[in-house]
């Protein structure tokens, strides 16, 4: 048996199903257009599809927030007090998906991570803990300074100069992080253009791989900054 799938860019890949209540055709919509009943979540639908968005990385924050509030209001439990348990469960499922989708898509970095996870390029919560080659020297010096600081502290020596050096290093890494974010934003714009103008699969694949690499670098630097912060604060 073949499953009819939507050809619409916004609902791409979501199977066309029929409303559990009135049997009208629905494609991933929150509510049936014919009878207004809340619908089950389609399997495999992305957070982008949840908000009726194409899988692009530029999202207008005000419009996303507006949709979030409108849907929160429509899915509010108060609207389902007289509904059947089945319907109430559907609304709770949608509400919880709404919160997850909104939290993820409103953050530019989480949005990229999610897109890569959804497309199978990145596994959730995995980052390489290997230093990016261009940072090896800086990381080596940083670790030396951290060791010296710990030793000086243990020996009860003067740590002011060492702390100053670490603060400067932290500042440098913070700037690296800003560069990484700018790079990620640039790749995001390239990705959006590839989606808009039907870029070929190899171009898209290469962009996804580059974004993944930048995300790994970002996670690595963030860990470094957090480590220095902890050492300086402690």
Task: State the nearest-atom distance from the C-beta of 41 to Zn ion, in Å.
Answer: 16
Task: State the nearest-atom distance from the C-beta of 87 to Zn ion, in Å.
Answer: 12
Distance, CA of 1 to CA of 26 (rounded, Å): 19
Using N-to-C axis directions, what is the helix angle for 61-74 and 85-106, rounded to 10°?
A: 170
Task: State the nearest-atom distance from the C-beta of 31 to Zn ion, in Å.
Answer: 8
Residues 13-52 that bind Zn ion (CB under 5 A): 19, 21-22, 24, 32, 34-35
User: Closest CB to Zn ion among 9 and 24?
Assistant: 24
The residue with tokens 């803990």 is: 129
User: Closest CB to Zn ion among 2 and 84?
Assistant: 84
Task: State the nearest-atom distance from the C-beta of 35 to Zn ion, in Å.
Answer: 3
Angstrom CA distances, 26 to 19, 137, 165, stand at 6, 56, 61
User: Closest CB to Zn ion among 88 and 210?
Assistant: 88
The residue with tokens 């089945």 is: 86
Q: Which of 124, 101, 1, 113 is nearest to 53 (CA)?
A: 101
User: Closest CB to Zn ion among 38 and 214?
Assistant: 38
């Amino acid at each position: 048996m073949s499953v009819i799938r939507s050809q619409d860019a916004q609902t791409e890949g979501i199977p066309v199903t029929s409303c559990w209540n009135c049997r009208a055709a629905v494609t991933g919509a929150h509510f049936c257009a014919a009878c207004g009943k809340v619908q089950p979540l389609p399997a495999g639908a992305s957070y982008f599809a949840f908000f009726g968005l194409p899988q692009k990385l530029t999202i207008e924050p005000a419009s996303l927030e507006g949709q979030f509030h409108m849907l929160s209001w429509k899915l509010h439990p108060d609207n389902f007090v007289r509904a059947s348990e089945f319907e109430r469960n559907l609304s709770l499922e949608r509400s919880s998906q709404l919160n997850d989708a909104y939290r993820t898509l409103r953050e530019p970095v989480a949005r990229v991570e999610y897109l890569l996870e959804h497309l199978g390029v990145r596994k959730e919560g995995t980052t390489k803990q290997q230093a990016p080659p261009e940072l090896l020297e800086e990381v080596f010096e940083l670790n030396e300074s951290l060791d010296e600081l710990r030793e000086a502290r243990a020996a009860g020596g003067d740590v002011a100069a060492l702390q100053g050096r670490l603060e400067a290093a932290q500042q440098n890494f913070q700037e690296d992080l800003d560069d990484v974010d700018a790079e990620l934003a640039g790749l995001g714009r390239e990705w959006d253009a590839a989606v808009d103008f039907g870029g070929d699969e190899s171009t898209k694949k290469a962009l996804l791989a580059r974004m993944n690499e930048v995300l790994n670098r970002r996670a690595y630097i963030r860990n470094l900054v957090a480590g220095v912060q902890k050492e300086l604060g402690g």
